[in-house]
């Protein structure tokens, strides 16, 4: 049986500001719906990803904006990812070299932290 992660919720304080930020860094806006007054659901997908993020208003309780810091995304090239983000005016930190990969981190407008990881070439370590 396959299990595929489909959606991760990211708590935000300003839905429009967050949507603009994620679109600016290349995420695709899949949905932006208001099924009824008081509820807004936005779903966005990073380029090439099978898993999306969601945010909005009145989507439930849990994390407060700025507390999500557990999302890790694999990228083919950490240097390119860092250049892409900084070229768009996003403050990003990196590249952090570790035995298990090369890492870049950045925060969304609410302070939710994202980690981008370039995996090591395990085939070259034979």
For the chain, domains (ranges, CATH) are 7-125 (3.10.180.10)
> Taking 90 as the threshold, does the pLDDT of residue 60 lie above it?
no
Mean pLDDT of the chain: 93
CA atoms within 13 A on the CB side of 66: 5
pLDDT attached to residue 79: 97
Confidence of residue 126 (pLDDT cuts 50, 70, 90): low
Summarised one tens digit per residue, pLDDT across range 76-115 is 999 999 999 999 999 999 899 999 999 999 999 999 999 9
> What is the spatial distance between Cα 10 and Cα 33, in angstroms, rounded to a whole number?
16
Which residues lie across from 94 on neighbouring strands? 104
Cβ-contact 94, 84 below 8 angstroms: no
| Average pLDDT, integer, range 3-27 | 95
């Amino acid at each position: 049986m396959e299990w595929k992660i489909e959606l991760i919720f990211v708590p935000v304080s300003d839905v429009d500001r967050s949507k603009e930020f994620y679109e600016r860094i290349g995420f695709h806006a899949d949905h932006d719906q208001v099924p009824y007054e008081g509820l807004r659901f936005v779903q966005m997908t990073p380029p090439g990803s099978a898993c999306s993020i969601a945010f909005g208003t009145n989507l439930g309780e849990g994390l407060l904006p700025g507390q999500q810091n557990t999302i890790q995304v694999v990228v083919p090239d950490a240097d390119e990812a860092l250049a892409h983000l900084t070229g768009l005016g996003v403050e990003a930190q990196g590249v952090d070299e570790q035995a298990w990969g090369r890492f870049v981190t950045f925060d969304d407008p609410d302070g939710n932290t994202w980690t981008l990881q370039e995996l090591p070439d395990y085939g070259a370590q034979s």
